[in-house]
Amino acid sequence: MKTMTTEEWHTEFFLALTAANATEGEVAEAVADVESFCADSRQSPLEAFGDPRAYVKQLGIGRSTTWRERLGYLIHVPTMLGIFVVFDGVRHLVGGTTASLTWGHLAAAGLLTATTVGFATALFAGRTVVMALVAVVGMTAAILSAVTFDRAIVELAPAVSLVVGALLLVVPAAVGTVQSLRDREQARVAAQRVGRPESDSSDTKLAAWVIVASHWGVVLAAFVFAGVIALVAQLVPAG
């Protein structure tokens, strides 16, 4: 059994609970039991419970992941595709050319879908190396596809391309924010039911801001970088 710190043990424990598709109440109760036992026994969770993934299996909690829940990870695909579309729209807008939906965009969407599913699977299985490899290879292949297969399927005005890209970014961010805030509230209620102390208002507000920033940071970054690209293209003289 490998050596790990308490923080690493809790991270592995949470990932194992997530992979087992444990409910919010089951997660809160399991974490509370571990913390309570370790506080009373003055043992580390590794000493008390051993391997966190094996311990989750011993608990026998969780349920099978439904296809609907697995497909829920694909909410991130439109976000990544939206980045391509926004950048492409800005490029054509600055150049005064017509934007288009290309075969490369469709190929990138397919590769991003496969990458997202593979990344999530590796993440919840605790395969850190595989997770990083899937992310790097998948994103690289998607970018190369978007750039290489530039044959147009549909011609679009640059402004329309930007609107489509904006929707691909904004809609998943809004949905993800609502879902994350709802899940956090459910976890807070579940934690209260098993007697865990409630966080103070400042921690609650900070956590809410972190959730919002995590979902909308990519959207903001995409538009900022697109704006920078437009500005540089205007300042740099052509050919």
Task: State the greatest distance between any 2 C-alpha atoms of the chain, in Å, as a whole number.
Answer: 72
Average pLDDT over residues 44-69: 78
Query: pLDDT value at position 31?
Result: 85
**Token pair recorded at residue 205:** 């507000």
Q: Whole-prediction pTM value?
A: 0.57
Distance from C-alpha of 47 to C-alpha of 117, rounded to nearest angstrom:
34
**What are the percentages of helix, strand and coil residues in the chain, rounded to 5?**
80, 5, 20
Whether residue 17 is predicted with pLDDT greater than 50 in this model: the reply is yes
Distance from C-alpha of 170 to C-alpha of 233, rounded to nearest angstrom:
25
Distance from C-alpha of 198 to C-alpha of 188, rounded to nearest angstrom:
7
Residue 199 — pLDDT band, cuts 50, 70, 90? very low
Whether residue 229 is predicted with pLDDT greater than 80 in this model: the reply is no
Average pLDDT over residues 56-64: 75
Block residue for tokens 């976890």: 187
Average pLDDT over residues 56-75: 67
Average pLDDT over residues 63-81: 66
Whether residue 234 is predicted with pLDDT greater than 90 in this model: the reply is no
Q: What is the mean pLDDT of the chain?
A: 78
Highest mean pLDDT among 10-24, 54-68, 158-172: 158-172
